[in-house]
Amino acid sequence: MPTAYITRRERFCAAHRLFNPEFSEEQNAAIYGECSNEHWHGHNFELLVTVHGDINPQIGYVVNLKTISQIIKERVISKLDHRNLNVDVDFMQGKIPSTENLAVAIWAQLDAPIKALGVKLHCVRVQETENNYVEYFGD
């Protein structure tokens, strides 16, 4: 049976500040530059979620992307959109809100409910800017 990788894109806007409280102000500034500015900055993020599975021969889908979209909105977008990633988001508490850490945390939010559909979460891609994105494959 052929398999395919299918991807749903969602978007959210959020604020953050890259900062490790264990470092001095000078160290934070040296590591993170402007991203460490005290009073936050924001991004228009894109989130691309790719799942992998068999193509159902009777339907022609791996899985209905509308269902994937609903899971992403409920488990991720509703918690991130128009929020501050350092302060407001339960699944980012205690983490430096880098794009890497965000991708790993989003994976943890999505893995079980996507598995429950009988398909496999393959990649979480978080696009922070036009030029920068992170892909996480679950390891």
Q: What is the Cα–Cα distance from 138 to 121, expressed in whole angstroms?
A: 8
The answer to whether the CB of 4 falls within 8 A of the CB of 44 is no
Kindly state the smallest distance separating residue 121's Cβ from Ni ion, in Å: 25
Site for Ni ion in 34-93 (CB under 5 A): 35
- Chain residue at closest Cβ approach to Ni ion: 35
* DSSP per residue, 95-135: S---HHHHHHHHHHHHHHHHHTTT-EEEEEEEE-SSS-EEE
Q: Which residues pair with 8 in a beta bridge?
A: 49
Site for Ni ion in 19-38 (CB under 5 A): 35
Kindly state the smallest distance separating residue 35's Cβ from Ni ion, in Å: 5
Between 23 and 32, whose beta carbon lies closer to Ni ion?
32
Between 50 and 98, whose beta carbon lies closer to Ni ion?
98
Kindly state the smallest distance separating residue 133's Cβ from Ni ion, in Å: 13
- Cα angle for residues 118, 122, 125 (degrees, 5° grid): 135
The count of chain residues that interact with Ni ion, using the rule CB under 5 A, is 1
Active site residues: 35, 82, 128
Q: Using CB under 5 A as the criterion, which residues of the chain lie in contact with Ni ion when the complex forms?
A: 35
